[in-house]
A and B are shown apart, each in its own frame.
Chain A
Amino acid sequence: MEIYLLTLLIFMIIGALIAIETKNLLSSVISVGVVGFTLSIAFLMLRAPDIAITQVVVEILILVVLIRATITRDNTSIEGRGGTFPFVSSLIFFGLFLIFAFFALKELPRFGEPLMKVSERYLRMGPEQTKAMNIVTGILLDFRAYDTIGEATVLLTSIVGAFCILRRRGRKLVEDADDEKTGILEDEDIKGSFEGF
Protein backbone atom coordinates (compact mmCIF):
# COMPACT_ATOMS: atom_id res chain seq x y z
CA MET A 1 0.00 0.00 0.00
CA GLU A 2 2.59 2.51 1.08
CA ILE A 3 4.98 1.58 -1.72
CA TYR A 4 2.25 2.25 -4.32
CA LEU A 5 1.59 5.61 -2.71
CA LEU A 6 5.30 6.47 -2.79
CA THR A 7 5.46 5.53 -6.48
CA LEU A 8 2.52 7.81 -7.22
CA LEU A 9 4.11 10.65 -5.25
CA ILE A 10 7.42 10.33 -7.11
CA PHE A 11 5.52 10.24 -10.41
CA MET A 12 3.71 13.46 -9.41
CA ILE A 13 6.96 15.18 -8.48
CA ILE A 14 8.49 14.20 -11.85
CA GLY A 15 5.40 15.55 -13.63
CA ALA A 16 5.61 18.83 -11.73
CA LEU A 17 9.30 19.21 -12.55
CA ILE A 18 8.63 18.59 -16.25
CA ALA A 19 5.80 21.14 -16.12
CA ILE A 20 8.22 23.75 -14.82
CA GLU A 21 11.19 22.92 -17.02
CA THR A 22 9.67 22.19 -20.42
CA LYS A 23 9.92 24.82 -23.15
CA ASN A 24 6.51 24.23 -24.72
CA LEU A 25 3.49 25.64 -22.86
CA LEU A 26 1.13 22.95 -24.16
CA SER A 27 3.29 20.10 -22.83
CA SER A 28 3.57 22.03 -19.58
CA VAL A 29 -0.23 22.09 -19.29
CA ILE A 30 -0.37 18.35 -20.04
CA SER A 31 2.21 17.68 -17.31
CA VAL A 32 0.08 19.66 -14.86
CA GLY A 33 -2.79 17.37 -15.84
CA VAL A 34 -0.62 14.33 -15.12
CA VAL A 35 0.00 15.67 -11.61
CA GLY A 36 -3.71 16.25 -10.99
CA PHE A 37 -4.93 12.89 -12.22
CA THR A 38 -2.25 11.04 -10.28
CA LEU A 39 -3.28 12.98 -7.20
CA SER A 40 -6.86 11.79 -7.68
CA ILE A 41 -5.65 8.17 -7.84
CA ALA A 42 -3.69 8.78 -4.64
CA PHE A 43 -6.84 10.12 -2.95
CA LEU A 44 -8.72 7.03 -4.10
CA MET A 45 -6.05 4.79 -2.58
CA LEU A 46 -6.28 6.73 0.68
CA ARG A 47 -10.03 5.91 0.70
CA ALA A 48 -11.29 9.43 0.08
CA PRO A 49 -13.70 9.04 -2.87
CA ASP A 50 -15.29 12.47 -2.32
CA ILE A 51 -12.02 14.31 -2.82
CA ALA A 52 -11.07 11.98 -5.68
CA ILE A 53 -14.24 12.82 -7.61
CA THR A 54 -13.75 16.54 -7.02
CA GLN A 55 -10.09 16.35 -8.02
CA VAL A 56 -10.80 14.54 -11.31
CA VAL A 57 -13.61 16.88 -12.29
CA VAL A 58 -11.81 20.10 -11.41
CA GLU A 59 -8.69 18.84 -13.19
CA ILE A 60 -10.66 18.25 -16.40
CA LEU A 61 -12.16 21.74 -16.20
CA ILE A 62 -8.81 23.39 -15.53
CA LEU A 63 -7.14 21.47 -18.35
CA VAL A 64 -9.80 22.59 -20.83
CA VAL A 65 -9.52 26.21 -19.74
CA LEU A 66 -5.71 26.17 -19.69
CA ILE A 67 -5.40 24.52 -23.11
CA ARG A 68 -7.95 26.99 -24.46
CA ALA A 69 -5.92 29.84 -23.00
CA THR A 70 -2.49 28.58 -24.05
CA ILE A 71 -3.05 27.53 -27.65
CA THR A 72 -4.56 30.89 -28.54
CA ARG A 73 -1.52 32.81 -27.33
CA ASP A 74 0.93 33.54 -30.08
CA ASN A 75 3.96 32.57 -28.03
CA THR A 76 3.62 28.98 -26.85
CA SER A 77 7.28 28.41 -26.04
CA ILE A 78 9.49 30.07 -23.48
CA GLU A 79 12.91 31.35 -24.36
CA GLY A 80 15.75 32.47 -22.15
CA ARG A 81 16.68 31.32 -18.69
CA GLY A 82 16.54 33.16 -15.38
CA GLY A 83 19.65 34.88 -14.11
CA THR A 84 21.68 34.07 -11.02
CA PHE A 85 19.53 36.17 -8.66
CA PRO A 86 16.37 33.99 -8.87
CA PHE A 87 18.50 30.86 -8.51
CA VAL A 88 20.35 32.13 -5.42
CA SER A 89 17.21 33.51 -3.77
CA SER A 90 15.27 30.30 -4.35
CA LEU A 91 18.22 28.34 -2.90
CA ILE A 92 18.18 30.56 0.20
CA PHE A 93 14.43 30.16 0.66
CA PHE A 94 14.69 26.40 0.15
CA GLY A 95 17.32 26.25 2.90
CA LEU A 96 15.12 28.32 5.22
CA PHE A 97 12.18 26.04 4.44
CA LEU A 98 14.26 22.97 5.29
CA ILE A 99 15.37 24.47 8.61
CA PHE A 100 11.85 25.41 9.68
CA ALA A 101 10.36 22.18 8.36
CA PHE A 102 12.86 20.18 10.43
CA PHE A 103 11.48 21.69 13.63
CA ALA A 104 7.84 21.85 12.54
CA LEU A 105 7.52 18.32 11.15
CA LYS A 106 8.88 16.79 14.37
CA GLU A 107 5.76 18.02 16.18
CA LEU A 108 3.29 16.56 13.68
CA PRO A 109 1.68 13.16 14.32
CA ARG A 110 2.93 10.30 12.17
CA PHE A 111 1.33 9.65 8.78
CA GLY A 112 -1.86 7.62 9.13
CA GLU A 113 -2.13 8.26 12.88
CA PRO A 114 -3.99 11.54 13.24
CA LEU A 115 -4.76 13.16 16.58
CA MET A 116 -8.56 12.76 16.24
CA LYS A 117 -9.76 15.10 18.95
CA VAL A 118 -12.70 16.89 17.31
CA SER A 119 -13.02 14.59 14.33
CA GLU A 120 -13.50 11.55 16.54
CA ARG A 121 -16.58 13.18 18.05
CA TYR A 122 -17.83 14.05 14.54
CA LEU A 123 -17.30 10.49 13.32
CA ARG A 124 -19.02 8.98 16.34
CA MET A 125 -22.03 11.28 16.46
CA GLY A 126 -22.30 12.33 12.79
CA PRO A 127 -24.46 9.57 11.29
CA GLU A 128 -27.07 9.55 14.04
CA GLN A 129 -27.26 13.33 14.43
CA THR A 130 -27.35 14.39 10.78
CA LYS A 131 -28.76 11.18 9.22
CA ALA A 132 -26.46 11.88 6.28
CA MET A 133 -24.96 8.55 5.30
CA ASN A 134 -22.09 10.27 3.47
CA ILE A 135 -20.33 11.51 6.57
CA VAL A 136 -18.16 13.97 4.62
CA THR A 137 -21.21 15.89 3.37
CA GLY A 138 -22.74 15.62 6.81
CA ILE A 139 -19.73 17.31 8.39
CA LEU A 140 -19.34 19.90 5.60
CA LEU A 141 -22.95 21.04 5.57
CA ASP A 142 -24.03 20.48 9.17
CA PHE A 143 -21.21 20.66 11.71
CA ARG A 144 -19.02 22.87 9.55
CA ALA A 145 -21.63 24.73 7.47
CA TYR A 146 -20.13 28.02 8.59
CA ASP A 147 -16.85 27.05 6.90
CA THR A 148 -18.71 26.05 3.77
CA ILE A 149 -20.44 29.40 3.47
CA GLY A 150 -17.03 31.06 3.79
CA GLU A 151 -15.85 28.84 0.94
CA ALA A 152 -18.82 29.86 -1.19
CA THR A 153 -18.05 33.51 -0.43
CA VAL A 154 -14.44 33.03 -1.55
CA LEU A 155 -15.64 31.49 -4.82
CA LEU A 156 -18.14 34.31 -5.38
CA THR A 157 -15.53 36.98 -4.70
CA SER A 158 -12.99 35.41 -7.03
CA ILE A 159 -15.56 35.10 -9.81
CA VAL A 160 -16.62 38.73 -9.43
CA GLY A 161 -12.94 39.74 -9.55
CA ALA A 162 -12.30 37.64 -12.65
CA PHE A 163 -15.33 39.16 -14.35
CA CYS A 164 -14.10 42.67 -13.57
CA ILE A 165 -10.64 41.97 -14.98
CA LEU A 166 -11.74 40.00 -18.04
CA ARG A 167 -14.58 42.20 -19.31
CA ARG A 168 -14.10 43.57 -22.76
CA ARG A 169 -14.58 47.30 -22.27
CA GLY A 170 -13.34 49.34 -19.35
CA ARG A 171 -15.43 52.03 -17.68
CA LYS A 172 -12.87 54.73 -18.50
CA LEU A 173 -13.80 57.46 -20.93
CA VAL A 174 -12.26 57.24 -24.37
CA GLU A 175 -10.34 60.53 -24.10
CA ASP A 176 -8.42 59.57 -20.95
CA ALA A 177 -7.92 55.92 -21.85
CA ASP A 178 -4.53 54.33 -21.36
CA ASP A 179 -2.16 54.46 -24.28
CA GLU A 180 -0.73 51.01 -23.99
CA LYS A 181 -2.91 47.98 -24.62
CA THR A 182 -3.74 46.04 -21.48
CA GLY A 183 -5.30 42.67 -20.92
CA ILE A 184 -7.87 41.97 -23.56
CA LEU A 185 -6.77 41.05 -27.07
CA GLU A 186 -8.43 42.70 -30.02
CA ASP A 187 -9.49 40.80 -33.12
CA GLU A 188 -6.53 41.98 -35.17
CA ASP A 189 -4.04 40.77 -32.60
CA ILE A 190 -5.57 37.31 -32.53
CA LYS A 191 -5.79 37.12 -36.32
CA GLY A 192 -2.12 37.98 -36.52
CA SER A 193 -1.22 35.34 -33.99
CA PHE A 194 -3.04 32.63 -35.92
CA GLU A 195 -0.97 32.79 -39.08
CA GLY A 196 1.17 29.90 -37.92
CA PHE A 197 -1.68 27.46 -37.22
Chain B
Amino acid sequence: MVDLDQEIRDSKKGMTPIVKTITRFVMGIIVMFGAYIVLYGHLTPGGGFAGGVILACGYILLTLGFGKDVSLKKMNNLAASLLDNLGVLIFLSIGLLGTTAGYFFLNFIDHGQDFKLFSSGIIPLCNIAIALKVTSSLFAIFLALSIFGRFVSTLVEEEE
Protein backbone atom coordinates (compact mmCIF):
# COMPACT_ATOMS: atom_id res chain seq x y z
CA MET B 1 0.00 0.00 0.00
CA VAL B 2 1.35 3.38 -0.96
CA ASP B 3 2.26 5.51 2.00
CA LEU B 4 0.49 8.84 1.81
CA ASP B 5 -0.04 11.69 4.21
CA GLN B 6 -3.34 11.92 5.99
CA GLU B 7 -4.19 15.26 4.41
CA ILE B 8 -3.70 13.88 0.89
CA ARG B 9 -5.82 10.89 1.77
CA ASP B 10 -8.66 13.06 3.02
CA SER B 11 -8.42 15.79 0.38
CA LYS B 12 -11.33 16.26 -1.97
CA LYS B 13 -9.15 16.34 -5.07
CA GLY B 14 -9.09 13.41 -7.44
CA MET B 15 -11.69 10.70 -7.80
CA THR B 16 -13.97 8.96 -5.31
CA PRO B 17 -12.67 7.15 -2.16
CA ILE B 18 -13.28 3.81 -3.88
CA VAL B 19 -10.81 4.67 -6.62
CA LYS B 20 -8.35 6.09 -4.12
CA THR B 21 -8.37 2.99 -1.91
CA ILE B 22 -8.02 0.63 -4.87
CA THR B 23 -5.20 2.77 -6.23
CA ARG B 24 -3.34 2.57 -2.91
CA PHE B 25 -3.69 -1.21 -2.91
CA VAL B 26 -2.75 -1.75 -6.54
CA MET B 27 0.01 0.81 -6.97
CA GLY B 28 2.74 -1.28 -5.31
CA ILE B 29 1.82 -4.35 -7.31
CA ILE B 30 1.93 -2.38 -10.57
CA VAL B 31 5.38 -0.97 -9.81
CA MET B 32 6.66 -4.38 -8.75
CA PHE B 33 5.33 -6.03 -11.90
CA GLY B 34 6.84 -3.30 -14.07
CA ALA B 35 10.21 -3.66 -12.39
CA TYR B 36 10.03 -7.46 -12.82
CA ILE B 37 9.24 -7.12 -16.53
CA VAL B 38 12.21 -4.75 -16.95
CA LEU B 39 14.79 -6.61 -14.86
CA TYR B 40 13.92 -10.10 -16.15
CA GLY B 41 13.54 -8.85 -19.73
CA HIS B 42 16.39 -11.06 -20.95
CA LEU B 43 14.93 -14.21 -19.34
CA THR B 44 11.14 -13.96 -19.64
CA PRO B 45 8.85 -12.22 -22.15
CA GLY B 46 8.90 -8.48 -21.79
CA GLY B 47 11.72 -5.99 -21.83
CA GLY B 48 12.48 -2.34 -21.40
CA PHE B 49 9.66 -0.93 -23.46
CA ALA B 50 6.81 -3.02 -22.03
CA GLY B 51 8.02 -2.60 -18.45
CA GLY B 52 8.48 1.12 -18.92
CA VAL B 53 4.93 1.50 -20.20
CA ILE B 54 3.63 -0.45 -17.16
CA LEU B 55 5.50 1.89 -14.81
CA ALA B 56 4.16 4.92 -16.70
CA CYS B 57 0.64 3.47 -16.36
CA GLY B 58 1.20 3.32 -12.60
CA TYR B 59 2.10 7.01 -12.51
CA ILE B 60 -0.91 7.84 -14.68
CA LEU B 61 -3.17 5.89 -12.32
CA LEU B 62 -1.77 7.93 -9.44
CA THR B 63 -2.49 11.15 -11.36
CA LEU B 64 -6.03 10.11 -12.22
CA GLY B 65 -6.85 8.85 -8.74
CA PHE B 66 -5.37 11.51 -6.51
CA GLY B 67 -5.10 14.56 -8.74
CA LYS B 68 -2.00 16.07 -10.22
CA ASP B 69 -0.43 17.36 -7.00
CA VAL B 70 0.44 13.93 -5.59
CA SER B 71 2.05 12.62 -8.76
CA LEU B 72 3.80 15.91 -9.48
CA LYS B 73 5.38 15.64 -6.04
CA LYS B 74 6.78 12.25 -7.03
CA MET B 75 7.93 13.29 -10.51
CA ASN B 76 7.38 16.77 -11.93
CA ASN B 77 7.58 17.57 -15.61
CA LEU B 78 11.15 18.92 -15.37
CA ALA B 79 12.35 15.71 -13.71
CA ALA B 80 10.43 13.69 -16.30
CA SER B 81 12.13 15.37 -19.23
CA LEU B 82 15.52 15.14 -17.50
CA LEU B 83 15.08 11.40 -16.89
CA ASP B 84 13.90 11.02 -20.47
CA ASN B 85 17.14 12.48 -21.82
CA LEU B 86 19.19 10.60 -19.20
CA GLY B 87 17.78 7.26 -20.37
CA VAL B 88 18.80 7.90 -23.96
CA LEU B 89 22.24 9.09 -22.84
CA ILE B 90 22.82 5.95 -20.76
CA PHE B 91 21.75 3.76 -23.67
CA LEU B 92 24.02 5.63 -26.08
CA SER B 93 26.98 5.59 -23.70
CA ILE B 94 26.62 1.82 -23.21
CA GLY B 95 26.87 1.56 -26.98
CA LEU B 96 29.85 3.89 -27.12
CA LEU B 97 31.63 1.96 -24.35
CA GLY B 98 31.51 -1.01 -26.67
CA THR B 99 33.84 0.81 -29.04
CA THR B 100 36.61 0.67 -26.41
CA ALA B 101 36.56 -3.12 -26.67
CA GLY B 102 35.86 -3.42 -30.38
CA TYR B 103 32.88 -1.94 -32.19
CA PHE B 104 29.68 -0.03 -31.54
CA PHE B 105 27.28 -1.93 -29.23
CA LEU B 106 29.71 -4.76 -28.60
CA ASN B 107 28.53 -6.90 -25.70
CA PHE B 108 31.70 -6.28 -23.72
CA ILE B 109 30.64 -7.48 -20.26
CA ASP B 110 31.05 -11.14 -19.28
CA HIS B 111 28.03 -13.11 -20.46
CA GLY B 112 27.66 -15.37 -17.43
CA GLN B 113 25.54 -18.51 -17.20
CA ASP B 114 22.18 -19.39 -18.73
CA PHE B 115 18.99 -18.52 -16.82
CA LYS B 116 20.81 -16.35 -14.27
CA LEU B 117 19.61 -12.81 -13.48
CA PHE B 118 23.11 -11.35 -13.88
CA SER B 119 23.88 -12.71 -17.31
CA SER B 120 24.02 -11.75 -20.97
CA GLY B 121 26.26 -8.71 -20.52
CA ILE B 122 24.89 -5.32 -21.47
CA ILE B 123 21.34 -6.45 -22.25
CA PRO B 124 19.86 -5.90 -18.74
CA LEU B 125 21.58 -2.51 -18.51
CA CYS B 126 20.11 -1.47 -21.86
CA ASN B 127 16.70 -2.68 -20.67
CA ILE B 128 16.94 -0.50 -17.57
CA ALA B 129 17.98 2.54 -19.63
CA ILE B 130 15.10 2.04 -22.08
CA ALA B 131 12.64 1.57 -19.22
CA LEU B 132 13.82 4.83 -17.62
CA LYS B 133 13.37 6.60 -20.90
CA VAL B 134 9.95 5.15 -21.75
CA THR B 135 8.52 5.66 -18.24
CA SER B 136 9.48 9.29 -17.97
CA SER B 137 8.64 10.20 -21.56
CA LEU B 138 5.15 8.66 -21.54
CA PHE B 139 4.39 10.21 -18.17
CA ALA B 140 5.64 13.54 -19.51
CA ILE B 141 3.32 13.23 -22.51
CA PHE B 142 0.41 12.53 -20.19
CA LEU B 143 1.36 15.56 -18.09
CA ALA B 144 1.60 17.69 -21.21
CA LEU B 145 -1.81 16.54 -22.42
CA SER B 146 -3.55 16.84 -19.07
CA ILE B 147 -1.91 19.68 -17.16
CA PHE B 148 -0.60 22.05 -19.80
CA GLY B 149 -4.08 21.96 -21.31
CA ARG B 150 -5.49 21.97 -17.75
CA PHE B 151 -7.75 19.04 -18.46
CA VAL B 152 -7.27 17.36 -15.10
CA SER B 153 -7.72 20.38 -12.86
CA THR B 154 -11.02 21.40 -14.42
CA LEU B 155 -12.30 17.85 -14.36
CA VAL B 156 -11.48 17.63 -10.68
CA GLU B 157 -13.28 20.88 -9.93
CA GLU B 158 -16.25 19.65 -11.87
CA GLU B 159 -16.48 16.38 -10.01
CA GLU B 160 -16.47 17.93 -6.54
Contacts and interface: CB of A to CB of B under 8 A. Distances in A.
B47 A50 contact: yes
B41 A191 contact: no
Given A131-B112, A133-B115, A60 B57 contact: yes
Interface residues of A, number: 47
B107 A142 contact: yes
B53 interface: yes
Interface in A146-165: 146, 148-149, 152-153, 155-156, 159, 162-163
A190 B150 contact: yes
Given A53-B46, A159-B141, A187 B64 contact: no
B122 interface: yes
B138 A69 contact: no
A149 B92 contact: yes
Interface residues of B, number: 58
Given A57-B50, A141-B127, A146-B105, A166 B111 contact: no
Contacts of B144: 162-163, 166-167
Contacts of B85: 156
Contacts of A54: 49-50, 53
Interface in B83-124: 84-85, 87-88, 91-92, 95, 104-105, 107, 111-115, 119-123
B50 to A, nearest CB: 5
B84 to A, nearest CB: 6
B115 A65 contact: no
Contacts of A187: 150, 154
A194 interface: yes
Contacts, number: 149
A122 to B, nearest CB: 14
A162 to B, nearest CB: 6
A167 B155 CA distance: 19
Contact of B141 (A49, A52, A60, A162): A162
A132 B123 contact: yes
B50 A185 contact: no
Interface of A: 49-50, 52-54, 57-58, 60-61, 64-65, 68-69, 72, 127, 130-134, 136-138, 140-142, 145-146, 148-149, 152-153, 155-156, 159, 162-163, 166-168, 184-185, 187, 190-191, 194, 197
23 contacts: A49-B45, A50-B47, A54-B50, A57-B50, A58-B53, A64-B64, A65-B145, A68-B145, A131-B120, A134-B47, A141-B42, A141-B47, A141-B126, A149-B91, A152-B133, A155-B133, A156-B137, A159-B141, A162-B141, A184-B148, A190-B150, A190-B151, A194-B158
Given A134-B43, A166-B145, 14 more contacts: A61-B53, A64-B60, A65-B145, A68-B146, A131-B119, A134-B42, A134-B46, A134-B47, A142-B105, A145-B95, A162-B144, A185-B149, A185-B150, A190-B151
